[in-house]
Amino acid sequence: MQVFEKNSTIFKLLSDAVSEGIIVVNEKQQIVAANMWANDMFGYDDEELVGQPLQILIPQTYRKAHQEHIQSYYQKHEKRRMALGRSLFGLRKNQEQFPLEVGLNPFSLYGNTYTMALVIDITEREKIVENQKMITAALDAALNGITITDALQPDHPIIYANAAFERITGYPTEETLGRNCRFLQGQDNNQEGVKKMWNAIEMGISCRVQLRNYKKDGTLFWNEVSISPILDGTGKTTHFVGIQNPITDRLLAEQEIGHLASIFDESLNEIYVYDAESLLFVNVNHGAQKYTGYTLAECKKLTPLDLKPEFTETSFRKLIAPLLDGTKEKIDFETVQRRKNGTTYPVEVHLQSSRVNDRQMIIAIILDISDRKNYTQKLEKTVEHRTKQLEKALETEKELNELKTKFLSLVSHEFKTPLSGILTSATLVGKYKKEDQQEKRDKHLNTIIGGVHHLTHILDDFLSMERMEKGKEVYRYSKFSLSKLVNEVVYNANMMLKSGQHISYPQNIDDVSIYQDEKIADLMLTNLLNNAVKYSPEDSQIDLKVDIMMDKIIFQIKDLGIGIPKKDQKYIFDRYFRAENVLTTQGTGIGLNIVKAHVENLGGKICFKSTEHKGSTFTVELPLER
């Protein structure tokens, strides 16, 4: 110890210049010298340690073990570091333990053996190691893949990959280290993101890209990769940290949401979302904007009440109340919707409630039902029209049946007289056998012929009427000689003349041909002449006049007969109507009715003038084809 005391100044000077703690012990394990750093480290004053046993610098729990080491150390007596690979601890004066590293250097001086221990307080270093361990553990615990690449080596090899990286990619760490990250892209390296990332690496800046990456088993996954450079003190990029975030699920979810959003927007139905409290629209789809003519921005200032003229705020809130208190899941109704331009259209509305972040919303899906309404209205009209047609057909059928019944009773009545006349005359003709009785025979034969004509006339009327009723009557136009027709009609009418009656008819029609329906013209003239004969007394004159003009022909039949009572005149063309002054004369009341119908169907008209006891004049006008 004296040796060191003697030379303490020299030792001090030398040992303080060394930046490690130096403690020298003798064979008895007594401290003979300690430099400034050692005193500082253990918390002792200058020289305080000298003479103290080394043990005071060793924590109680390690003292025994230390003693054993010392023994073996002295046996080997070599220069070495203590406790390699193990943690050593020192004890400060204040009893605080701290980690240290010790290097032992034995030496001999003046026959004594000493050991110089170089002591380093590794508290800070341990802290750093601890920290690094913690960081590594944290990196390994991270859910994102983390890699560190060395930017100073060619092709930037991976020098660190955490556990999550292995989990995400399926590549074990040993297969990852030393490789460039591009192996994750396989052949699929022509990607926008890849280019962007290499660009960022080149420029030494950070970036975030989405890449198509492939796991070891070949499965594709979308990887959101963020890279950031690590710079050294001079600003040079030494490493890149890469963070891998597999986002396949998120992308799929985003795609799904995107798809749903486009369905919402592209739907041709109108879809509205509005706040249940303020009723203001929050969102409306494209269809709603198109149908109403409002833009989204305009809609956001409106409520459903602006579009639904049939509701007041009170009635609307009452309508949606069951949705809001949960008593109903859905409300459907029909109403009208008003466009921006004020026009309206019928709609079917479906309402549902929905919650978005504690805010209650109403979703309205609205269908334009104009077409459906139009279709229903059209259908209703068609049904109405058909019903009318059926009613008319039924009516006609009924009338026809009535007509037949009436005709049967008419026939039985009307046919009786002419038939009995024909029978009587036929019987009498047989009795006039003598040659000079020809005049009498002719008289009876004329009665028979007249009777047959009368019956034929009734039948003609009836058949014509029935055909017309059934709509089967087809008018047949032809060119025919007017004089031939008039002669035939007058000839037949002459058969019915009473004694002294005379029909005068025009002679100016000899070479006239007209284009008309000959049968109808015949039916019309026959009826009117027969009536004139029937309703005029004996010895009276009947006039038939014909006026031919450019586009029409006018017939006039004038008699000096019983005339038609004023009060009956308006019913004269009604079917079966007969005036009260003719009830003792035979007739059916259908002649004038069918004549008027046919004449009008041909585009002509019929009228009359009549005074009771003086006579009647019937005028018929028929159009002519040029």
The residue ranges that bind ligand ADP (CB under 6 A) are 527, 531-532, 535, 559, 561-564, 572, 578-579, 582, 587-593, 616
To ligand ADP, the closest distance from the beta carbon of 611 in angstroms equals 10
Instruction: Identify the CA nearest to 223 among candidates 213, 236, 235.
Output: 213
Tokens found for residue 320: 């949606």
| Residue 531 CB neighbour total at 10 angstroms | 21
Q: Between 209 and 529, whose beta carbon lies closer to ligand ADP?
A: 529
Question: Is the CB of residue 571 less than 8 Å from the CB of residue 577?
Answer: yes
- 114 SS3 class: strand
| Residue 34 CB neighbour total at 10 angstroms | 29
To ligand ADP, the closest distance from the beta carbon of 486 in angstroms equals 18
Which residue reads 């010895």 in tokens? 539
To ligand ADP, the closest distance from the beta carbon of 624 in angstroms equals 25
Tokens found for residue 470: 């059934």
Q: Between 164 and 572, whose beta carbon lies closer to ligand ADP?
A: 572
- What is the bridge-based pairing of β-strands 541-548 and 502-504? parallel
To the nearest 5 percent, what fractions of the chain are helix, strand and coil?
Answer: 45, 25, 30
To ligand ADP, the closest distance from the beta carbon of 395 in angstroms equals 22
Q: List CB contacts of 125: < 8 A, sequence separation 6 or more.
A: none
Q: Between 385 and 413, whose beta carbon lies closer to ligand ADP?
A: 413
Q: Between 161 and 560, whose beta carbon lies closer to ligand ADP?
A: 560
To ligand ADP, the closest distance from the beta carbon of 532 in angstroms equals 5
Q: Across the chain, which distance is largest between two alpha carbons, in Å?
A: 212
Compute and round to an integer the Cα radius of gyration of the chain: 66
- DSSP single-letter state for residue 30: B
With CB atoms as reference, the residue minimizing the distance to ligand ADP is 587
To ligand ADP, the closest distance from the beta carbon of 507 in angstroms equals 23
To ligand ADP, the closest distance from the beta carbon of 598 in angstroms equals 13
Q: Between 320 and 562, whose beta carbon lies closer to ligand ADP?
A: 562
Q: Between 472 and 570, whose beta carbon lies closer to ligand ADP?
A: 570
Tokens found for residue 584: 């003792």
Q: Between 194 and 524, whose beta carbon lies closer to ligand ADP?
A: 524
Q: Between 250 and 566, whose beta carbon lies closer to ligand ADP?
A: 566
| Residue 560 CB neighbour total at 10 angstroms | 18
To ligand ADP, the closest distance from the beta carbon of 398 in angstroms equals 21
Q: Between 91 and 557, whose beta carbon lies closer to ligand ADP?
A: 557
List beta partners, residue 105: 116
To ligand ADP, the closest distance from the beta carbon of 587 in angstroms equals 3
To ligand ADP, the closest distance from the beta carbon of 590 in angstroms equals 6
To ligand ADP, the closest distance from the beta carbon of 513 in angstroms equals 29
Tokens found for residue 510: 């000899």
Q: Between 11 and 462, whose beta carbon lies closer to ligand ADP?
A: 462
Q: Between 516 and 527, whose beta carbon lies closer to ligand ADP?
A: 527
To ligand ADP, the closest distance from the beta carbon of 617 in angstroms equals 9
Q: Between 139 and 599, whose beta carbon lies closer to ligand ADP?
A: 599
Report the distance separating Cα 296 and Cα 315, nearest Å.
Answer: 26
Q: What is the DSSP string of 555-622?
A: EEEE--S----GGGGGGTTSTT---GGGTTS---S-HHHHHHHHHHHTT-EEEEEEETTTEEEEEEEE
Q: What is the DSSP string of 531-549?
A: HHHHTS-TT-EEEEEEEE-
Q: Between 229 and 589, whose beta carbon lies closer to ligand ADP?
A: 589
Tokens found for residue 230: 């690590």
The size of the chain, in residues, is 626
Question: Is the CB of residue 479 less than 8 Å from the CB of residue 515?
Answer: yes
To ligand ADP, the closest distance from the beta carbon of 392 in angstroms equals 24
To ligand ADP, the closest distance from the beta carbon of 416 in angstroms equals 15
Report the distance separating Cα 446 and Cα 393, nearest Å.
Answer: 44
Question: Is the CB of residue 100 less than 8 Å from the CB of residue 88?
Answer: yes
Question: Is the CB of residue 194 less than 8 Å from the CB of residue 212?
Answer: no
Q: Between 133 and 404, whose beta carbon lies closer to ligand ADP?
A: 404
Question: Is the CB of residue 307 less than 8 Å from the CB of residue 337?
Answer: yes
- DSSP single-letter state for residue 159: E
> Tell me, what amino acid is at 569?
Q
Determine the number of helices (DSSP H) and then strands (DSSP E) in the chain: 19, 23
